[in-house]
Amino acid sequence: NDLIGSSAFFSQLIKEILTNSQMILFSTCVTQAFFIHLYAACSVFILSAMAYDRYVAICKPLHYSTVMTKAHILKIITAVWSSCLVSIGVLFILLLRLRFCRSEITHPYCENPTLLTLVCEDTTINNIYGLFISALSQVVANATVFYTYLQILLACFRTKRSDTKAKALQTCGTHLFVFLLMECLGLFSIISYRLKSIPPHLRRFIGVSTLIFPPTLNPIIYGLKTKEIREKVMITFKKKIFLPQCTVS
């Protein structure tokens, strides 16, 4: 998911730098906007699914293997991606039915609100649907994370093993940091279009930050912070460094 979001942004940015051109085709702009919105929607729901996984692992450790089976995990992944594809797909179907009469975009990348500024027709339905799916995703995601983390905190305070408590809080702390980062950046981007007092440069900076910082931090937080992955990486590097060189006579 991170690769989808960053690739949609950086591929066009690199093309503009190499060609020294700020022109973009309409079809390319719509494609970029679609994948950026898909990335944003999936990020929230994937983090919510991960919160549920941590809830089962910490609050019901003896039942984890029977609850989080491969079939159940596949259902969760399918539900996340299918719901995001459908909701974002409908958003852009509603967009493409409109007539465009302008051609200048001041935002550093294409997205639904900037494309709506090019429309010369009534966009009330688009605005209502956009706000509806934004509000619905926020309610579902925040309710899931709030409930699961409340139960995790209660379970941590009940346990008497300090090592278990520390590991659970560390694992959940990193996940909560990423979730709050995505929520803050995403909500600011949504609200900034409704508030004219917010400087355009600040809106652009926050929008670009959403596509740069989470994809950069996630591999570090979920990769190097995970003991098993860190150990495998170290073993791989040691094998490459200390592997004896063979000579052919």
DSSP string, 70-119: HHHHHHHHHHHHHHHHHHHHHHHHHHHTSPB------SSS--HHHHHTTB
Stated pTM of the model = 0.81
Domain spanning 2-242: CATH 1.20.1070.10: yes
- For residues 139, 145, 146, 147, the Cα torsion angle rounded to the nearest 10 degrees is 100
| Structure token pair of residue 160 | 């008497």
Q: What is the pLDDT of residue 129?
A: 94
| Structure token pair of residue 241 | 């460094």
Q: What is the pLDDT of residue 15?
A: 87
Q: What is the pLDDT of residue 171?
A: 67
Mean pLDDT, consecutive 10-residue stretches, the chain (249 aa), reads: 90 86 87 93 90 87 90 95 95 93 83 88 91 89 88 77 67 76 78 74 81 82 73 80 55
Q: What is the pLDDT of residue 49?
A: 92
**What residue ranges do the domains of the chain occupy?**
2-242
